[in-house]
Every structure is written in structure tokens, then in C-alpha cells.
Amino acid sequence: MEITKNTDVLIKQEDELQFINFGGDDALRLGLLIINIAKDEIKKGVAVHIENDKHPLFTCYMDGTTDNNLYWVNTKKNVVKKYEHSSLYIGEIYKNQGTTFHKETNLSDAEYQAEGGSFPLIIKGQGRIGTVTVSGLTGEEDHALAVEGIRRFLQG
């Protein structure tokens, strides 16, 4: 897994990791793929939540997660839904400007956290249709796990 905070790399990931289509069966396959990477390679429990903009498609809170992970899943995915980019990218944009997400946006901490872990589900030619969110590691690791899962899914 590649861990980065470089905004050029982060935006390039969004340009590269796009789907032709995405439905419930895809969400199940992607969710289980992310869970298996966490279990077999990282050896830690994470929460994984995949949704389209209408409803949840896949949710799993592995052993080792807590109620706190629900907060992080919701607040990180809200950033992606509002800004159309990964939660890590949005947070890093503000840090690169020498400020913080909350200081500049005045959005509620209880509803929005621009920390890594939520990535947009993008359909080529259509745009963002949902989110893939991981919680349980550091923000950068959560982001890297979501990206790695999507990359492997798209590779076959």
C-alpha cells in the first residue's frame, strides 16, 4: 500500500481509480477485498462502509473496531459527499495553505472530518456516485487501504 499526503498523487488516484459501473454485487466484492487485505496483510480490524448516494451497499465493522469508528466513517464520507474528492485530499489542501479544514469551512466537527479514509466512488463519464470509507488505522493508512482495495478490484 502506498501511503502519501502529496495532493498531486491524491488527485491522480481519483482520476485513475474509476469504474465503468458499480452496483450491490460490486460493493460486496470490494468490501470483502478490503476486509481481507486488512485481515491478512495489515492484521488489524477496520470498519468498511460503501454506499451510493441513495443508500448503504456494504458495511462491516471487524473485531477490534469500536463505536468511535462509526463517527469517523460518517464524518469522513460527509466530506467526500460535499467536496467530491477524497477526505485526505481535502484535508491536505487546507494544510498546504497553512490553515485547517475546520478553521476555513466552519463546518461542524460532529459532521465533517477531513481526515484520510473516505474515497469517492467515481463512474467514468458520470462522476462521483458514492463513497468507500475505511476507519480503524491512521487517516493516511485508512486512505491507502481504500485505494489499494479499489485498485485490486479494478485490476481484476
Query: Tens digits of per-residue pLDDT, 95-131?
Result: 999 999 999 999 999 999 999 999 999 999 999 999 9
pTM of full prediction above 0.85: yes
Residues ≥6 apart with Cβ < 8 Å to 83: 90
Q: DSSP character for 2? A: -
Say if residue 36's pLDDT is above 80.
yes
- Separation of alpha carbons 141 and 156, rounded Å: 23
Report d(CA 44, CA 16) in Å as an integer: 27
**In the predicted structure, residue 4 carries a pLDDT above the cut 80:** no
What distance in Å separates the CA atoms of residue 94 and residue 114, rounded to the nearest whole number? 9
Q: Is 72 left (phi over 0), alpha (psi -120 to 50) or beta?
A: alpha
CA within 13 Å, CB half, 150: 29
19 DSSP assignment? B
Could you give the 3-state DSSP secondary structure of residue 45?
A: coil
| Fold exhibited by the domain 7-155 | Beta-Lactamase (3.30.450)
Classified as helix, coil or strand, 81 is helix
What residue spans define the domains of the chain? 7-155
Listed in sequence order, the residues at least 6 apart from 66 whose beta carbon sits closer than 8 Å to its beta carbon are none
Give the pLDDT confidence of 49-99 residue by residue, as tens digits.
999 988 999 999 999 999 999 999 999 999 999 999 999 999 999 999 999
Indicate the pLDDT class of residue 5, thresholds 50, 70 and 90.
Answer: confident
